[in-house]
Amino acid sequence: MDEERDDVGARAAIGGRRSVRRFLDLPVADDTLRRILELSARAASGGNLQPWQVHVVRGAALKRMSEAVLAVHETGAECPDYRYYPEVWREPYLSRRRKVGFDLYARLGITREDKAGRAEQFRQNFRFFGAPVGIFVVIERDFVPAGFLDSGLFLGNLAIAARSFGLETCLQAAWVYYGAVVRRELGLGDDHLVVAAAALGHADPTAPENEAFTERAPIDEFTVFHES
Ligand SMILES: Cc1cc2nc3c(=O)[nH]c(=O)nc-3n(C[C@H](O)[C@H](O)[C@H](O)COP(=O)(O)O)c2cc1C
Q: Output the DSSP codes for 118-176.
A: HHHHHHGGGGGGG-SEEEEEEEEGGGTTHHHHHHHHHHHHHHHHHHTTT-EEEEE-GGG
Q: Look at residue 184 and tell me if it is in a domain.
A: yes
Burial (Cβ within 10 Å: 0-12, 13-18, ≥19) of residue 56: middle
Q: Which amino acid is at 168?
A: E
**57 located within any domain:** yes
Alpha-carbon distance values, 19 to 16, 89, 92, 169 (Å): 10, 23, 21, 6
Residue 6 lies in a domain: no
Identify the CATH number of the domain in which residue 192 sits. Answer: 3.40.109.10
In a domain, 2, yes or no: no
pLDDT block averages, 10 residues each, the chain of length 228: 60 96 98 98 98 98 98 96 95 96 96 96 98 98 97 98 97 98 98 98 97 95 97
pLDDT score at 7: 56
Q: Return d(Cα 81, Cα 197) in angstroms, integer.
A: 13
Q: Is the CB of 19 under 6 A from ligand 1?
A: yes
Q: In what order do the strands lie in the sheet with 192-201?
A: 53-58, 133-140, 192-201, 168-172
- Cα of 217 to ligand 1 centre, how many Å? 16
- What is the DSSP annotation of 15-35? HT--B---B-S-PPPHHHHHH
**What's the pTM value of the predicted model, to 2 decimals?**
0.96
Residue 117 lies in a domain: no
Looking at the structure of the chain, the number of domains it has is 1
Give the nearest ligand 1 atom to 174 CA: 8
What pLDDT score was predicted for residue 181? 98
Q: How far apart are CA 65 and CA 25, in angstroms?
A: 18
Would you say residue 36 lies in a domain?
yes
**Mutate which of 69, 129, 171, 182 for ligand 1 pocket (most atoms within 8 A of beta carbon):** 171
Ligand 1 atom 22, closest CA:
214
CB-based burial of residue 217 (10 Å sphere; 0-12 exposed, 13-18 middle, 19+ buried)? Answer: exposed
- Cβ 174 under 6 angstroms from ligand 1: yes
**Distance of alpha carbon 196 from alpha carbon 152, whole angstroms:** 9
Q: 171 CB under 6 A from ligand 1?
A: yes
Report if residue 215 sits inside a domain.
no
CA 122, 40, 61, 85 dihedral sign is negative
Whole-number pLDDT of residue 3: 56
Host domain of residue 149 = 24-85+128-208
Q: How far is the CA of 29 from the centre of ligand 1 (A)?
A: 25
Domain assignment of residue 227, yes or no: no
- Using most ligand atoms within 8 A of CB, pick from 17, 19, 175, 211 the residue to mutate for ligand 1: 19
Q: How many CB atoms lie within 10 A of CB 67?
A: 12
Residue 100 Cβ inside 6 Å of ligand 1? The answer reads yes
Contact 197, 134 (CB under 8 A): yes
pLDDT value, residue 6: 47
